[in-house]
Structures are given as C-alpha cells and as structure tokens.
Chains A and B, each alone.
Chain A
Amino acid sequence: KAGVTQTPRYLIKTRGQQVTLSCSPISGHRSVSWYQQTPGQGLQFLFEYFSETQRNKGNFPGRFSGRQFSNSRSEMNVSTLELGDSALYLCASSRRWGDEQYFGPGTRLTVT
C-alpha cells in the first residue's frame, strides 16, 4: 500500500509570496493533519481535516489555511510568507480522528 505523499518536497520562496503544499493520504484514510516542525519547537499542530471538514485547528495566524477534497487529498496554503515560516511541513493521515497517524516525507520550505 502506498504511503502518504507530499509535493513538492523542497520549496524556496521569498517574503510576501504565498505557497500551496499538497498531501495525498494513504488509500482509505479520511483524516489528514498538518504540522509545522522547526528546530527546537517540535511538532506544531496546524489543522486536521476529516471528510472535507476542519475538525481541529492549532494556534497559527489566519495566513495559514487548508482544505480537503472529496478524495481525501489535502492542501495547505500560506499567504504573505515570513522568514519565520521556514520549516518542515508534515502531513499525516489516519483512518479517522484519534487513530494512528502515518506521516509523509514532508515539504521543506525555505523563505528568503
């Protein structure tokens, strides 16, 4: 069974730009969660989607948004990029909320 895939794997953007990251969950998984990981900060929860509905949201500014499609694929968008948004963005899927989550390889975003 294919794992969680994320595209692109690496991205370099400049301040003020926006970016869209994509995540395809494991087949049969309907829940997708997004995390930001920076050195020293651990995994910071962004949001969780289940059946196209946002179930949970972390403490991030409104510049961070996401959505989920009917095929469970998910995207997250960051507008007006700041230097501090440079991080590894991880997507994880599970069958439903509360279940074991399986992570994709991540998207490494660098903002210059």
Chain B
Amino acid sequence: QKEVEQNSGPLSVPEGAIASLNCTYSDRGSQSFFWYRQYSGKSPELIMSIYSNGDKEDGRFTAQLNKASQYVSLLIRDSQPSDSATYLCAASGGSNYKLTFGKGTLLTVNP
C-alpha cells in the first residue's frame, strides 16, 4: 500500500516567517511529487511540482526533494495570511503511476 504521510497540524506561523511543510512517502518507485494548496470549501490548486533531488524555487515557494530519505518538503517564505490553507503533498510513480495524496497539513499564518 503506497502511503504519503503528512503532519496534520495545525501549523501556526506569524506573518513574514518561513513556513516549513513536510511529507514522507513509502513507495521508492515514486518519481513525481506535487504540492497542492486547498482553501476551505475550495478544490486543490497545484502550486509546485518536483521530479529531481534538490531544491526547486518558484517565487516565495521552494520545494525540496530527497529521494534517499523519501522526503519532500515545501518552504513558504515571507508567509502571508492569504497562505492560510491546507497543503496537500502527492506522489506518483511505481508500477501504475497512480497519484497518492497525503491527508494534508493545515497552515495558519497569523497577522
């Protein structure tokens, strides 16, 4: 059973701080990793994808992948109250390429 694990939170950070969201996955065959943001009552929105070990930056967001440790993280710099949402980590690959989601981490950014 492929699993993606996330700390459910809530993770609370002050405005302007760095928010660090973490995710581990069980399937070593996983090749593609995604972070989604979901506001309450809305559908998930893709914010980052990462395929290679190392860091990938996009604006205030940095995704980090360590395949040896089976670990993916998302850093949000200069956190804003509008970043308050649930962040979902997802992984795909292996024999059937099914996208497997974690249960999400609730992030609250306090003004």
A100 touches B31 (CB 8 A): no
Residue among A33, A41, A105, A106 making CB contact with B99, cutoff 8 Å: A33
Residue among B34, B43, B88, B103 making CB contact with A100, cutoff 8 Å: B34
B: interface residue count bin: 20 to 34
CB distance from A2 to the nearest CB of B (A): 15
B49 touches A98 (CB 8 A): no
Give how many A residues have a beta carbon under 8 Å from the other chain's beta carbons.
Answer: 22
B44 touches A100 (CB 8 A): no
Interface-forming stretch among B13-21, B66-74, B76-84, B89-97?
B89-97
* CA–CA, A27 and B77, complex, Å: 34
Q: List 12 A-B contacts (CB under 8 A).
A: A43-B44, A43-B101, A45-B98, A45-B101, A88-B43, A92-B44, A97-B92, A98-B31, A98-B32, A98-B92, A101-B34, A102-B46
